[in-house]
Amino acid sequence: MKKDVLMIESESYWLKTGHRTHYPKLEEDLETEVAVVGAGIAGILSAWQLVKQGKQVTLFERFRILNGTTGNTTAKLSAQHGLNYAKLIERYGTETARLYYEANMLGINQIKAIAKELNLENFVEDETVYVFTTDPAKVPSFVKEKEAYDKLGIDGDLLKETPLGFKIESAISMNKQGILHPVEFLNGVLAALSKKGMRVYEQTLINDMKQEDDKSLVLKSDNGHSVKCKYVVFATHYPLIEVDHHYDYGVWARTTQAMAFKTDKKLFNGAHIAYDTPSITLRTMEYFGDHYLLIGGQSHVTGDGFSDEERYEKIDELAHKYFNVGKPVYKWLTHDLMTKDHVPFMGRLYPQFPNVYTITGLNAWGLANSSAGAVMIADMIMGRQSPYTKMYDPFREIPEIPSDAEKEKSSSEVSKVADSAVENLERDKQTIIMHDRKRVGVYKDKNGKVYYFDLACTHLGCDLGLNDGDKTWDCPCHGSRFDKFGRVIYGPAIKNLNEVKLS
């Protein structure tokens, strides 16, 4: 199956099957009450909540609308984030754990309500979700998580089998959750917002912000235009404005691969994730009568240098081991920013900027959390109290718990350098070499021309890793990505890679 896997162009099922409207680039100075920067689910739902409450909102996106994490998700709308609630109780206590569940259920129900209001219910479905394990040693963790569910009043069951149809050791379900087609749903939300007069700009990089004496704000775009506003919401995966490296040190980037396979029928009900190593996530989709299986997994520190081609191959092998599927038809990957406690950073970006807000560090569970954050930030802008501000506060104190010692290795421990000679490099391939004690990225194009790049990320200088599966250079620190020619395709980096000449 190796050839079948590698020949598939990298594009997500959602972006391939979804419809997106094109929006103009910002070509003039403007004024708005609220500027929302970033047009994934966090930004679009923040805009929705604010427009519904009478605010004048303008939405900006650096690349194409929905091209980032939202368009490359596995699209589970869930408050079940692995075995998370026992750990939340251990770290923060019962009340905070209950608030986290409550906030995520609020986020889920908001999305379902929007879908009903806008006649988008075909793209948002009710579903039960499951965490399962095939490892007998992990059964006690499921018992402990069910005890946490009971303590918090969560609707779910401890199980010995799931709808997947293969043998497991234990599982825990959570009812009244959901799945969705994020691109179709959010394109519909954007259409409704546009009808209400909201302006949307894509291919527009906001790269600077100034706070005036009266706390109003002036944003600058990459082509020199100004945006004057009273409030800003940065929903940009990673905040574009840094003051003291708080977010640099507070989050780390993780990459997950996903593949979709065509099937003869719907294989199972529910959305599932394995609490195993490596973890996998599974769900099904239907598009104009065609059925698909989605499998995601092989999560790792972004830019670790190991082969993403091999990771796709392992997902392909797993799909054929457990299910009757044909060749894979889509493959893609996504980047998530992770926090130490697996609770997002949402709220005021910095205390010194009272009218600037952020949604970041969504820990691979951004759909429900983003929706909850959009409600919370709208409350803050409208001057209302929210019960979730302390829990999501980006500057909260994060207590240590024993399982923190089991976190993934840092990027400095997992970087890998390839020593292949340039002359032996195949065309349309990349490698990494050492030159004058520095790591240099090499790409040989289809005509045999060789390009050399400084592999220091242009954001904050972290060492980039080689992603051979998607032919990119990836940052393990904050998730920036550069194509094989060194051009930025994913922030927070703004500048392309520096080409170098070898002496």
> How would DSSP label each residue in 27-67?
-S-EE-SEEEE--SHHHHHHHHHHHHTT--EEEE-SSSTT-
Strand partners, 123: none
Predicted local distance difference test score (pLDDT) of residue 306: 75
Predicted local distance difference test score (pLDDT) of residue 250: 84
How far, in Å, CA of 495 to CA of 81, rounded? Answer: 34
298-317: per-residue pLDDT in tens? 888 877 767 778 889 999 99
Predicted local distance difference test score (pLDDT) of residue 305: 67
Predicted local distance difference test score (pLDDT) of residue 2: 56
Predicted local distance difference test score (pLDDT) of residue 179: 96
CA distances from 105 to 21, 94, 99, 301 (A): 29, 17, 10, 29
How far, in Å, CA of 229 to CA of 357, rounded? Answer: 13
How far, in Å, CA of 248 to CA of 239, rounded? Answer: 10
Is 20 within 8 Å of 187 (Cβ atoms)? yes
Three-state secondary structure call for residue 326: coil
How far, in Å, CA of 76 to CA of 280, rounded? Answer: 13
Is 286 within 8 Å of 268 (Cβ atoms)? no
Q: Tell me the HSE value of 453 on the side-chain side, using a 13 A CA sphere.
A: 30
Instruction: List the pLDDT tens digit at each of the 503 positions of the chain.
Output: 455 665 677 889 999 999 988 999 999 999 999 999 999 999 999 999 999 999 999 999 999 999 889 999 999 999 999 999 999 999 999 999 999 999 999 999 999 999 999 999 999 999 999 999 999 999 999 999 999 999 999 999 999 999 999 999 999 999 999 999 999 999 999 999 999 999 999 999 998 999 999 989 999 998 999 999 999 999 998 888 777 778 877 888 888 999 999 999 999 999 999 999 888 999 999 999 999 999 999 888 877 767 778 889 999 999 999 999 988 999 998 888 899 999 999 999 999 999 999 999 999 899 999 999 999 999 999 999 999 999 999 999 999 887 665 544 333 333 333 334 577 788 888 888 866 657 788 988 888 889 999 888 888 778 888 887 778 888 877 778 899 899 998 888 888 998 888 76
Predicted local distance difference test score (pLDDT) of residue 106: 98
Three-state secondary structure call for residue 293: strand
What is the pairing mode between strands 76-77 and 158-159? unpaired
Any residues with CB less than 8 A from the CB of 104 and at least 6 apart, and which?
A: 78, 79, 81, 365, 368, 369, 372
Predicted local distance difference test score (pLDDT) of residue 477: 77
Predicted local distance difference test score (pLDDT) of residue 166: 93
Predicted local distance difference test score (pLDDT) of residue 320: 93
Mind listing the domains of the chain with CATH numbers?
12-73+184-243+342-405 (3.50.50.60), 415-490 (2.102.10.10)
Helix (H) or strand (E) holding 18: none
Predicted local distance difference test score (pLDDT) of residue 402: 79
What global pTM score does this model have?
Answer: 0.83
Closest by Cα among 119, 419, 356 to 218: 356
In sequence order, what E strands does 361-468 have? 429-435, 438-444, 450-454, 465-467
Predicted local distance difference test score (pLDDT) of residue 441: 86
